[in-house]
C-alpha cells in the first residue's frame, strides 16, 4: 500500500469517528435539555398544585356570612427586630380598647401571610405543605362585628364563619383563663395534619406541624411588640370544646390560642 492510500484510509477513519462522536454528543445535548425542561415543569406544577389545592378546597367550602378585605400590610416600622426580640414578653393584662383592622391585618400576615408568588409564607413549613389554618375570634375591633373569622392569606381577606362574641366560651374552654375573655381578639391556630403526614408520615404529626405553629405564634409575638400590643399564647384548653365553639371540620385540630389586646 502506498503512502497516499494509507493517508486516505486514515482520513476516512478519522471522519467516521468524528461523525459518530458528534451524533452521540447531539443525543446527550437533546436528552439533557429535555431533562432540564421536564424537571422545570414538574417542579412548577407541583408548586402550583400546593397553592391551588389549599386555596380552592379550604375557602370555597366556607359559608360566606361576610367577607372583609384586609388593609395592605405595612412593611416598615420604627421597631427593629432586635428591639422586638428584647421586648417580647407574654402579656395577660389589656386595656378595654379596640384594635384597628390595620393591626388585625398585620398580625394575621405575621402569622401566615404569603410573601412569595410561589405561595411561601412568613413562617416556614415542612415541604411547604402548610398544615395550619388561622381563625380570629373578634371581640373588640373597630368597624368589625363580633364573631369568628377565618383568614384567607391568598386573598388577604377574612371570612366571617360565626356570629357573636365567643371570647367567654373560649375562656371557659381554656380553663377559665380570664385574658382569653378580656383581650380584644384571640387568634386560634388549627392544623390539618394530613397535608403534612401524607408526605412525612408520623414524623409530620408528632414534630413538624407543632414546630410550625411555634414559628407562626412567635411571629405574632414579635409583630405585637412592633405594634405596641400585648399577647400571650395559650396551650391549656380542651380541644373538643374549642372545636365545638369554632365549628371546626373533623379533620382540623386546634393547637394554640393567642390572646391579643392593647397595652
Ligand atoms: C407551649 C406553650 C403553652 C403555653 N400555655 C400557656 C397558657 O395556657 N396560659 C398562659 O397564660 N400562658 C401560656 N404560655 C406562656 C408561658 O407561660 C410563658 O411563655 C412563660 O411564662 C415565659 O414568659 P415569656 O413568654 O414572657 O417569656 C405557654 C407557652 C408555651 C410555649
Tell me: the pLDDT tens digits for 120-176? 999 999 999 999 999 999 999 999 999 999 999 999 999 999 999 999 999 999 999
Question: Residue 57: what pLDDT?
Answer: 42
Q: How far apart are CA 24 and CA 122, in angstroms?
A: 48
Cα(95) to ligand 1 centroid in Å equals 20
Question: Which has more pLDDT, 183 or 39?
Answer: 183
Q: Could you tell me the end-to-end alpha-carbon distance of the chain, in angstroms, rounded to an integer?
A: 104
Find out whether 247 and 135 touch, Cβ atoms under 8 Å: no
Cell of 228: 405596641
- Nearest alpha-carbon partner for 162 in 138, 195, 193: 138
pLDDT, one tens digit per residue, over 218-228 is: 999 999 999 99
Nearest ligand 1 atom to alpha carbon 90: 26
Cβ of residue 258 lying under 6 Å from some atom of ligand 1: no
Q: Evaluate if pTM is beyond 0.85.
A: no
Average pLDDT, the chain: 89
Q: How far apart are CA 200 and CA 202, in angstroms?
A: 7
Edge-first strand listing for the sheet containing 185-191: 66-69, 157-163, 147-152, 132-138, 185-191, 253-262, 229-234
∠ CA(159), CA(164), CA(167), 5° rounding?
100
∠ CA(179), CA(254), CA(72), 5° rounding?
75
> Of 181, 212, 232, 260, which is best to mutate to test ligand 1, by the most ligand atoms within 8 angstroms of its C-beta?
232
Cβ of residue 152 lying under 6 Å from some atom of ligand 1: no
As separate numbers, helices (DSSP H) first and strands (DSSP E) second, the chain gives: 9, 7
**Percentage above 70 pLDDT, the chain:** 87
Least confident among 50-54, 127-131, 141-145, 177-181: 50-54
pLDDT above 50 (res 56): no
- Nearest alpha-carbon partner for 105 in 83, 64, 138: 138
Neighbours of 195 (CB within 10 A): 23
Cβ of residue 126 lying under 6 Å from some atom of ligand 1: no
> Of 233, 239, 260, which is best to mutate to test ligand 1, by the most ligand atoms within 8 angstroms of its C-beta?
233
Cβ of residue 176 lying under 6 Å from some atom of ligand 1: no
Helix (H) or strand (E) holding 157: strand 157-163
**Percentage above 90 pLDDT, the chain:** 75
CATH topology of domain 65-262: NADH Oxidase (3.40.109)
Amino acid at each position: 500500500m502506498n503512502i497516499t492510500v494509507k493517508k486516505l484510509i486514515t482520513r476516512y477513519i478519522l471522519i467516521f469517528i468524528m461523525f459518530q462522536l458528534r451524533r452521540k454528543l447531539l443525543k446527550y445535548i437533546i436528552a439533557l435539555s429535555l431533562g432540564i425542561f421536564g424537571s422545570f415543569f414538574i417542579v412548577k406544577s407541583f408548586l402550583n398544585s400546593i397553592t391551588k389545592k389549599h386555596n380552592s378546597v379550604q375557602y370555597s367550602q366556607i359559608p360566606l356570612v361576610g367577607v372583609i378585605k384586609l388593609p395592605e400590610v405595612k412593611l416598615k416600622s420604627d421597631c427593629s427586630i432586635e428591639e422586638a426580640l428584647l421586648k417580647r414578653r407574654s402579656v395577660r393584662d389589656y386595656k378595654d380598647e379596640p384594635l384597628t383592622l390595620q393591626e388585625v391585618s398585620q398580625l394575621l400576615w405575621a402569622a401566615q401571610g404569603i410573601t412569595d408568588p410561589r405561595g411561601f409564607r412568613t413562617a416556614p413549613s415542612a415541604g411547604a405543605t402548610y398544615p395550619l389554618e388561622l381563625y380570629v375570634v373578634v371581640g373588640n375591633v373597630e368597624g368589625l362585628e363580633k364573631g369568628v373569622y377565618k383568614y384567607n392569606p391568598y386573598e388577604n381577606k377574612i371570612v366571617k364563619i360565626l356570629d357573636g362574641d365567643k371570647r367567654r366560651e373560649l375562656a371557659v374552654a381554656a380553663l377559665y383563663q380570664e385574658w382569653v375573655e378580656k383581650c380584644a381578639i384571640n387568634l386560634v391556630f388549627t392544623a390539618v395534619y394530613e397535608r403534612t403526614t401524607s408526605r412525612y408520615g408520623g414524623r409530620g404529626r408528632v414534630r413538624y406541624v407543632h414546630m410550625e405553629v411555634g414559628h407562626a405564634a412567635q411571629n405574632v409575638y414579635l409583630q405585637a411588640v412592633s405594634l405596641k400590643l400585648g399577647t400571650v399564647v395559650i396551650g391549656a384548653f380542651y380541644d373538643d370544646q374549642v372545636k365545638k365553639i369554632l365549628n371546626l371540620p373533623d379533620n382540623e385540630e386546634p393547637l394554640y390560642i393567642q390572646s391579643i389586646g392593647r397595652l
